[in-house]
Amino acid sequence: MYDLIIIGGGPAGITAGIYAARQKLNTLLITKSFGGQMLKKSGMIENYPGFEEISASELIQKFERQLRKQKVDIKINEAMKVKKIGGHFLVITKSKNRFESGAVIVASGADPRLLRVPGEKEFLGRGVSYCVTCDGPLFEGKTVAVIGGGNSAFEAAIFLVKLARKIYILESGENVRADAKNQERVKKTGKVEIITKAKAKEIKGEKFVNCLIYLDRKTGKEKTLAVEGVFVEIGTQPATSFVKNLVDFNERDEIVAEFETCQTKTPGLFAAGDCNVGRFKQIVTACGEGAKASLAVYDYLQNKL
Ligand SMILES: Cc1cc2nc3c(=O)[nH]c(=O)nc-3n(C[C@H](O)[C@H](O)[C@H](O)COP(=O)(O)OP(=O)(O)OC[C@H]3O[C@@H](n4cnc5c(N)ncnc54)[C@H](O)[C@@H]3O)c2cc1C
């Protein structure tokens, strides 16, 4: 029986692990992989204190290295279900392992939000991608579309500039939402065409994607873009279904948790980072919540004795 099980190996889960070890909590961290959403980051990270500029892969390696120096058990696996039985928790993994603990921190972050249009699933890995850093190099010399008008979409387009021949950014609203710096960078490339009021309707192709159909909301007519790649960058969906019996969710499926302690409605179950209702989703805020949650777990377990 562990004192604490942490689910997630992104910034929130790793920080929770480092703090838990320092509190001498007997801790298990279960994660599908290390890095989380940082692995999707194409440009440099410029807003993590201590590093004026650092690549996401280098920062996550530093996080992981620091965690692995602590006394924390690590299992690369997926948590499928969390149950509360009497005063303790049972976590069941994809490979049917069962682990018990006095407390659980859910730090499972978020997965890419799906476009939900015909062709998206069918062409996944054959032109449709949610990760420009992973798949961008496959589109050298090709014309591609990036769906979304926020910072992720703009950063994806900037990453693709050195590879792709031409890039379209499609935003369904009237205006893009990327910050001024990213808009400026995109403009400077001269390779990116931004189409607003454009709602993606269907991805088509034969073996691989060859076009994207969108509704031009200015004219009400459907238009076709000849593209060989479609990068979906329309935000994220919290990865929280495995605790649905134990927590409340808001309308975005984020776990309701107290601001100060990250405590959910179930005593002993905490939620930190992008999976909870916190408004600002950043590396530094996820780390902060991982720390808060671990310190709160320590208090919770002390009070239980
Ligand atoms: C493209 C992009 C660019 C970004 N750029 C920046 C930036 O420049 N600066 C910044 O501060 N923030 C940036 N962010 C936001 C930042 O990456 C997130 O806020 C942060 O990663 C959240 O950390 P987290 O630990 O809460 O979740 P995540 O990073 O999502 O990590 C969740 C972890 O949980 C694991 N997991 C999920 N479900 C399970 C399960 N059932 N069982 C086991 N493990 C599970 C995942 O494998 C992953 O390791 C960016 C995000 C994106 C997508």
With the most atoms of ligand 1 within 8 angstroms of its CB, the residue from 41, 94, 241 to mutate is: 41
149 pocket-lining for ligand 1 (C-beta < 6 Å): no
Atom of ligand 1 nearest to the CA of 37: 29
Cβ–Cβ under 8 Å, residues 230 and 128:
yes
**Is the CB of 15 within 6 Å of ligand 1?**
no
Side-chain-facing half-sphere of 289: CA atoms under 13 Å = 33
Instruction: Tell me if 14 CB under 6 Å of ligand 1.
Output: no
Instruction: Record the pTM.
Output: 0.85
Does the C-beta of 97 come closer than 6 Å to ligand 1? no
Q: Which two tokens stand for residue 150?
A: 């926020």
Give the Å distance between the CA of 252 and the centre of ligand 1.
16
Among 38, 53, 289, which is best to mutate for testing ligand 1, by the most ligand atoms less than 8 A from CB?
38
> Which among 274, 275, 270 is positioned nearest to 283, based on CA atoms?
274
CB 225 within 8 A of CB 145: yes
* Residue reference for tokens 């889960």: 13
Q: Distance between CA 83 and CA 10 in Å, rounded?
A: 23
126: CB partners within 8 A, 6+ apart = 205, 207, 208, 209
Q: Is 182 in the pocket of ligand 1 (CB under 6 A)?
A: no
9 C-beta closer than 6 A to ligand 1: yes
Spatial CA neighbour of 214 closest among 170, 148, 157: 170
| Residue located nearest, by CA, to atom 38 of ligand 1 | 108
Which atom of ligand 1 is least distant from the CA of 281?
Answer: 19
The per-residue DSSP string of 195-215 comes to E-SEEEEEEEESSSEEEEEEE
274 within ligand 1 shell (Cβ under 6 A): yes
Q: How many CA atoms lie within 13 A of 205 on its CB side?
A: 22
What is the 39 CA–ligand 1 centroid distance (Å)?
A: 8
Task: Report the pLDDT value the prediction gives residue 133, as an integer from 0 to 100.
Answer: 80
Q: Where are the alpha helices (H) located in the chain, listed in sequence order?
A: 11-22, 56-68, 132-135, 151-161, 180-189, 283-304
Q: What's the pLDDT tens digit per position in 201-236?
A: 999 999 999 999 999 999 999 999 999 999 999 988
Residue whose entry in the numeric block shows the structure tokens 């994220």: 236
Average confidence (pLDDT) per 10 residues, the chain, 305 residues = 98 98 98 91 85 93 97 98 96 98 97 94 94 89 97 94 97 96 96 98 97 98 98 93 96 95 98 95 95 98 89
